[in-house]
Structure 1
Amino acid sequence: MVRSLTCGVAALGVVLLAGGWPDAAWAQGKSGPFSLFDNIFTGSSQTQDPPPQAAVPSASGVQPWSGEDGASGHPLMTAQAIREAAGNFDNCIAGLWPDAARRGISQDSYQRFTAGLTPDLRIMDLMDSQPEFTKAIWDYLDILVNDNRMAKGREVLAQYKTIFDAAEKAYGVDRYIIASIWGIESNYSTMIGDRSVLRSTATLACVGRRQAYFKDEFLVALEILHRGDLRPEQMRGSWAGAFGPTQFMPTAFKRFAVDGDGDGRRDVVDNPTDLIFSTANNLKKDGWQSGQTWGYEVVVPQGFNYMLADKARAMTLPQWEQLGLKRANNQPFPKMAEKAYLLAPAGSQGPGFLMMTNFRVIMKYNPAEAYAMAIGHFADRLRGGPPFVQPWPRQERVLSRAERLELQQLLAQRGFYKGTPDGQFGGQTREALRNFQASVGAPADGFASSEMLDRLRVR
């Protein structure tokens, strides 16, 4: 429940083709700066740990740090800064003891759990890695919402029906959404990750560019162990510290984990009651609306003004109908008073979606529109719903990182893009592209196609 780099999805290592949904690169979700979809969108690799070219596997088979500067260019990510921080690691950990004591962690616990800790510098490569190629959203959804995962999801829903019943009664959160998160985050507990949460967060608390954020995660991880909710061997997960089948960061565990079965521990790793109840509690506290869906697939009419496709432009469903939008299955909207915003993930060439309050809630769980769409759609399929009706523009070629960088540079040269070109698409890039498209009479949908790049190349 908080995203950092998760494992099931994270193993895909994909980035979206369209004009970058989050400026999610450092989206402010419960995961802080490291969302699973950070990496999906901005290009970092995750649990599969693809090696940098300079890296040589160690005798144990564990991939070592490349010894190179990080791609972010941050001064704390230079090879020299990383080596210096690693050399000071023991002093850094010792220096955190007063903060731990103020949190009620005993000296015995602190010494016991930090004894023998060493930095995992391979994390520095994972933090800053930038794959060359990307995946389109339709390929991404094909991978995540598949027959095998749906079959397993239905088994899980049947196996834990009594627990799901109780969780729905207590929190009012749709069981299919919880089952969807479980399935997409860890493929139903089969892809949780194998890095020590304590070692990962300790490394990031003392080395690299996000030390302030990860000091809190590290200290909370110690709180969890000191309290006895989990054992060290249970706290294994992604390189950024997310653990368990629904991928909690330590600070999210502290905020949302509950003892669902009353045994005195909050075990979100091996106890299905605590896992389901805690996930439901997270969504409820983030504003989940009982009885409401996440969104509707809609047909967008020809000639539509895509400048209205903006999450800041929420309107009632009747207002969207007046603009020509209708549900893709030709059914009426069931609750006409609800407000929604329009999302067009493949621009004017693909389906549109009207996103409700619960879609925003899922994005608080993980601040990326693609993630929330995958969760919502998978949940609908688990309850027996159909695939999306309209086709995706599968003929579109995915831009390479060099082309994404070039697109941003050309937008900047024309005065549309105000950020620093980095080849990582976010909301700022999409807005700049939409303004360029409007200036040349193209649908202002913010979709970064090869055709748009070619048009930008023309002086």
Structure 2
Amino acid sequence: MMLRSMTPLLALAAMAGAHADPAFDQCLSRLQTQAAAQGVNAESFNRFTADLQPDMSVLELLDKQPEFSTPLWDYLAALVDDERVADGQAMLAQYRDVLDQVERDYGVDAATVVAVWGVESNYGRIFGKRPLLVSLSTLSCNGRRQDFFRGEFIATLKLLQAGDIQAEGLTGSWAGAFGHTQFMPSTYARIAVDGDGDGRRDLVASIPDALASTANYLKRAGWRSGESWGYEVRLPAGFNAAAAGRKARKPISAWAAQGVTGIDGSALSGNGNAAILVPTGVQGPAFLVTRNYDAIYSYNAAESYALAIALLSDRLRGKPGIISAWPTDDPGLSRAQRRQLQTLLLERGYDIGEVDGMVGSNTRRAIQQEQQRLGITPADGRAGLSILQALQSAPASTSTPSIQPESNP
């Protein structure tokens, strides 16, 4: 092809009449040089980056990850609900043979692997809608952490060139995680395995590959076969919150000596070291966690995320959910309850789009207007139990809403 003999910048300019953003073109040219040094040939680079245009909206999401910005009781209410538990138990049954083999190969139990799958993509239903190469190229050329995202962009190109994944329809999260269990491209390159024996590592189209790769990740992160991630505990009166924290490990016997018990008052079980977590303070639920919790945490370094997977895995095993109450008088909503809330808002004339249980800006702005109308404070647009109950009991306004919510992200 003629593009092979051109300089990178000229080749880019030749594709589709050149990009509309000269600075982006220049950045892609530099990226091609870096990619070539890592084995991405010119033909592959030009083919996979043809017609790329930056999507600057991803920059707004760099500091808005829900794991760090959403109240924990809201985050867990939607991720560890009865619907996700029932779906996960169905997946445990459907893929029992695959999961048994995964546990034999990697020592990670089926419930934990399926819990990761459920939290990351709702069992393959939600991969993320953003074109992967668009997001990663934009983040490689703009904003903070450009070096990190350049590495992920080049790792994606290498996976495409090797044929592990296909470029057509390749979408993921705004930050570049993709597939059934949302691997970042560099993690995919290092850890993904061929679980179905077809000679490819395809975490997009192959569920066995995704499940085996997830178990391989946890094993390499230090998962100890046959051990629990931990469990909910009861703290003694006057427990010092400064003694808690994932890295503040002590022998389980030392915690028992301080008066920590099982949530039912029973003696602590297990050997070795563990830590105490009080994610919402000593007045909220507390957990004793082991090294296996750390392995889960490494998948996405956020306490709320790790707890979601840990607690979902327990529910998939048939264990009860959290016993202690969260320190709030306005608990979060399950996805079924969120859909009920959206239905009530639609009945009141709000243009919030589809009833999908996803609380985007449309839903939040509509909630805020109803909170103001009903005198609920703060009028913060939060989808909690109080606004749901208020709308269930209050008559709808006869007037058309005076503001039109913005579109969902």
**Would you call these one fold, judging by a TM-score over 0.5?**
yes
Q: Pairwise mapping of residues 339-350 of structure 1 onto structure 2 (< 5 A)?
A: 339-350=273-284
Inter-partner Cα distance in structure 2 for 1:121 and 1:198:
13
* 1:316–1:339 Cα contact (<8 Å) kept: yes
Match of 2:301 among 359, 367, 391: 367
Residue 312 of structure 1 deviates from its aligned partner by 3.3
Q: Which residue pairs with 1:314 in the alignment?
A: 249
Inter-partner Cα distance in structure 2 for 1:129 and 1:171:
34
Inter-partner Cα distance in structure 1 for 2:148 and 2:119:
26
AA aligned to 2:303 is E
* 2:245–2:278 Cα contact (<8 Å) kept: no
* 1:287–1:361 Cα contact (<8 Å) kept: yes
> Is 1:358 equivalent to 2:280 in the alignment?
no
Where 1:298 maps in the other structure, the secondary structure is strand
Q: Between the two structures, name the one with larger relative contact order (CA 8 Å, sep ≥ 6).
A: 1
Q: Pairwise mapping of residues 279-290 of structure 1 onto structure 2 (< 5 A)?
A: 279-290=214-225
Residue 288 of structure 1 deviates from its aligned partner by 0.5
Q: Which residue pairs with 1:223 in the alignment?
A: 158
Residue 208 of structure 1 deviates from its aligned partner by 1.6
* 1:300–1:351 Cα contact (<8 Å) kept: no
Map Cα deviations across residues 286-335 of structure 1 (whole Å, 9 max, x no partner). 11011111112111011122221133321111110110000003344342
* 1:267–1:274 Cα contact (<8 Å) kept: yes
AA aligned to 1:190 is R
Match of 1:386 among 315, 320, 334: 320
> Is 1:276 equivalent to 2:214 in the alignment?
no
Q: Which residue pairs with 1:255 in the alignment?
A: 190
* 2:276–2:286 Cα contact (<8 Å) kept: yes
Structure with greater Cα Rg = 2
Inter-partner Cα distance in structure 1 for 2:309 and 2:64:
26
Map Cα deviations across residues 223-246 of structure 1 (whole Å, 9 max, x no partner). 000000000125311111111121
Q: Which residue pairs with 2:127 in the alignment?
A: 192
TM-score norm. by structure 2 comes to 0.73
Residue 346 of structure 1 deviates from its aligned partner by 2.2
* 2:256–2:267 Cα contact (<8 Å) kept: no
Inter-partner Cα distance in structure 2 for 1:230 and 1:309:
43
Residue 364 of structure 1 deviates from its aligned partner by 0.5
Q: Which residue pairs with 2:310 in the alignment?
A: 376
Residue 97 of structure 1 deviates from its aligned partner by 2.0
Inter-partner Cα distance in structure 2 for 1:373 and 1:157:
20
Inter-partner Cα distance in structure 1 for 2:317 and 2:203:
24
Q: Which residue pairs with 1:207 in the alignment?
A: 142
AA aligned to 2:307 is M
Inter-partner Cα distance in structure 1 for 2:138 and 2:238:
52
Deviates more, 1:382-391 or 1:315-324: 382-391
Q: Which residue pairs with 1:104 in the alignment?
A: 39
Match of 1:87 among 7, 18, 22: 22
Inter-partner Cα distance in structure 2 for 1:286 and 1:121:
34
AA aligned to 1:357 is R
Inter-partner Cα distance in structure 2 for 1:126 and 1:183:
23
Q: Pairwise mapping of residues 21-32 of structure 1 onto structure 2 (< 5 A)?
A: none
Inter-partner Cα distance in structure 2 for 1:299 and 1:129:
33
The size of the alignment, in residue pairs, is 312
TM-score norm. by structure 1 comes to 0.65
Q: Which residue pairs with 1:328 in the alignment?
A: 263
* 1:86–1:207 Cα contact (<8 Å) kept: no
Could you tell me which runs of 5 or more consecutive residues in structure 1 were left unpaired when the two chains were aligned.
Answer: 1-84, 399-459
Inter-partner Cα distance in structure 1 for 2:238 and 2:304:
25
Residue 146 of structure 1 deviates from its aligned partner by 0.8
Q: Residues 126 and 251 of structure 1: is their aligned pair in 2 closer, same or farther, counting only changes over 3 Å?
A: same
AA aligned to 2:136 is T
Inter-partner Cα distance in structure 1 for 2:129 and 2:244:
40
> Is 1:173 equivalent to 2:108 in the alignment?
yes
AA aligned to 1:359 is Y
AA aligned to 1:166 is Q
* 2:274–2:288 Cα contact (<8 Å) kept: yes
AA aligned to 2:275 is Y
Residue 209 of structure 1 deviates from its aligned partner by 1.6
Inter-partner Cα distance in structure 2 for 1:229 and 1:134:
34
Residue 375 of structure 1 deviates from its aligned partner by 0.5
Where 1:313 maps in the other structure, the secondary structure is coil
Residue 88 of structure 1 deviates from its aligned partner by 0.9
